[in-house]
Structure 1
């Protein structure tokens, strides 16, 4: 049993676009009677996820209980960002009963767990559980992991071959660290895709880990809160590709922030994002756009060539400035090409 005097923390991890923000938005609205606080760590300096979550705030999780850290990976900025943020949340009145941390989609969760061993907080908080989200459609398509059967066959033939990629390492580390895996977007994957995704996850898991299908982020909070895993004391059961290293690299991925002019047709913007996914191997796009004649801002989120968009809230008095964060593998993306595709009018003016 976890020490009841310690404040429980749930770490929500999962690859880019797996549905972490949607899950936490639903938890904020349906917290199972718990008073929540949320820490959002984003890849890139535009607070899209934090902004979405603050719009979901309710009395049991008011906006001041939702904090953003966009200055880098929180496990690499422990003293400067992570510790002060946790201490600030614990000092709130009334005090939160549970903290949820949404990691960046490219984060390795195990280094974050090590941060909970810092003397300033280790006697005050405990990791109630690590929840990993996996996009069923993407996993079934092999985008987050290597071809398991093919790699296993090659490894049997030559154990010296390393077939890992930055994408598969991140995915595998997230799966290996989890206490529960939520298989998201099962409706897009279909029964066959879900079965294939489950097989991939089972092959990547170092131990038996429960897998629960979740659509639109809707899950009973009793399933993922109150696990009492004390994960910070269970590190050996959570292997990582980066075990034995004092730090971990973030140089495999790049992000670029693009300011975009007002668009007249959302479909045309979607087409440009789809083009980027094909031509630049872009992994993730998220942000906002202003649409001519529309008082609401357009929320845009894309995983590869799969783009979703919706009007989420009025612009109000804020400048109608569109801004997108684009994330891709370091060697595969061109910043100039991305800006040219997403903001052709601005490029032409320059």
Structure 2
């Protein structure tokens, strides 16, 4: 695909109140990377202030302050993006900074449900900034903090200078209980290699899970003291696609509002290609990624991240999708 027609990558910046999202946004806009961004900032409430905190830059900043981006203004988000697509010139990317009280799911869904937006943009990554010192209390007090971690492809553990090594290790363990697949980067004042955060294709099906070697762990912790938690399903026996897809659709219909993220690689019987799938709430996407390598063990791996999901019920249904025997060549 040529540069002229290539979808524009979109990076969503989220994180609980005071974590450092605007600091990160300012660093992105200030770095000498030579890229031009359109910036969409959302402030919850009638009077927005985030726009005034953004550094003076050439980028166009669009502010939505008539409600939380995750609910009342998704239509505004679609209209702004569609308007950007009609403007002369070319953006190298779109940055969306959500309010600290936002559930990132509807933001991500926007890039799947609107056909025009989906055709002309590409959700590149959801980056969640967390406060290393205050995160434990925020997780226990605010469900939004857990859900922002659950949806992240990259988690920036910010303000590490304010926490001890032991506290940082404990915070990372807590994060992993919620989201075992996201990359965790430590920082002080979001001082990171900005180029490494952009155009990562972290939300791209073609790269899903390949960058997470720990995903092969048989069981991730599933702690019930968290509002949001994760568990993994691993199966070495081939999966019957005629059973799998109906099961997955039924599972999403039953528990979709509580399934925050779903990621997986599936080994189907009689299929020499890896099938990758991911979902946000009740929206599912999947396709064949690449052939299995000759020396690669064909393992099905699925991670569910959600709110109090019935692990036993989901596991039982998944195991019933195993093929009785591998299809003949």
Residue 139 of structure 2: aligned partner: 145
1:15 partnered with 2:16: yes
* Contact residue 64 and residue 73 of structure 2 kept, 8 A: no
* Contact residue 110 and residue 240 of structure 1 kept, 8 A: no
1:134 partnered with 2:130: yes
Quote the offset at 1:231 in angstroms: 5.5
1:171–1:129: structure 2 CA closer, same or farther, 3 Å change rule?
same
Q: Residue by residue, what CA displacement relative to the aligned partner does 1:29-61 show, whole Å, maximum 9, x if unpaired? A: 1162211111011112222111111xx1333x2
Whole-angstrom CA distance in 1 between matches of 2:33 and 2:17: 27
Normalised to the residue count of structure 2, the TM-score between the two structures is: 0.59
Quote the offset at 1:170 in angstroms: 1.4
Quote the offset at 1:28 in angstroms: 0.5
Whole-angstrom CA distance in 2 between matches of 1:231 and 1:196: 30
The two structures, once aligned, show a CA RMSD in angstroms of: 3.1
Equivalent position SS for 1:131: strand
1:225 partnered with 2:226: no
Question: Where does the alignment leave 5 or more consecutive residues of structure 1 unmatched?
Answer: 147-164, 249-350
Quote the offset at 1:209 in angstroms: 1.8
1:180 partnered with 2:192: no
Number of aligned residue pairs: give it.
Answer: 216
* Contact residue 113 and residue 232 of structure 1 kept, 8 A: no
> Pick from 151, 157, 164: which aligns with 1:190?
164
Equivalent position SS for 1:96: coil
Residue 334 of structure 1: aligned partner: none
* Contact residue 66 and residue 73 of structure 2 kept, 8 A: no
Residue 122 of structure 1: aligned partner: 118
Q: Which has the higher contact order (CA 8 A, sep 6+)?
A: 1
Question: Where does the alignment leave 5 or more consecutive residues of structure 2 unmatched?
Answer: 209-214, 216-226, 230-251, 261-329
Equivalent position SS for 2:192: coil
Residue 39 of structure 2: aligned partner: 38
Whole-angstrom CA distance in 1 between matches of 2:91 and 2:40: 12
Q: Residue by residue, what CA displacement relative to the aligned partner does 1:103-134 show, whole Å, maximum 9, x if unpaired? A: 11011111211111212311011111010111
1:201–1:173: structure 2 CA closer, same or farther, 3 Å change rule?
same
